[in-house]
Amino acid sequence: MSGIASRWEHFPHGADIGVRGIGATKADAFAQAALAVTAIMTDPATVTPEEMVPITCEAPDDELLLVDWLNAVIYEMVTRRMLFSRFVVLLHGSSLFAEAWGNRSTLPSMSQR
């Protein structure tokens, strides 16, 4: 698996838009999925990683942990009015510990999407 390049993707989903994170490790894939969430709203390359926000999650399985993680990233974006462009994720059992790096910005309104 070490030859896998980290990347993210968007794909059509019945509810809205799907995000997929791909990486050499599960932690890498989780970080890439969070980057895909940012990319729904803006080009992550335009977001300067100036401020770090710690995020922790816990769930009984990987699928629920990914959902909780992405929901936590969205929550932090909305409540802090920030966008993130870099994620450092550590996984330990059913727990996730992360740093989300970004800056305070004006989030686009839903009508601008």
Model confidence at 110, pLDDT cuts 50, 70, 90, reads very low
The model's pLDDT over 42-76, given as tens digits with 9 standing for 90+, comes to 899 999 999 999 999 999 999 999 999 999 999 99
Alpha helices in 1-113 (DSSP H): 26-41, 62-80
- Does the domain at 7-112 match CATH 3.55.10.10? Answer given as yes
* Distance from C-alpha of 86 to C-alpha of 23, rounded to nearest angstrom: 14
Tokens at residue 16, please?
Answer: 């809205």
Task: Give percent of the chain with pLDDT exceeding 70.
Answer: 89
User: Amino acid letter at 62?
Assistant: D
108, pLDDT greater than 60: no
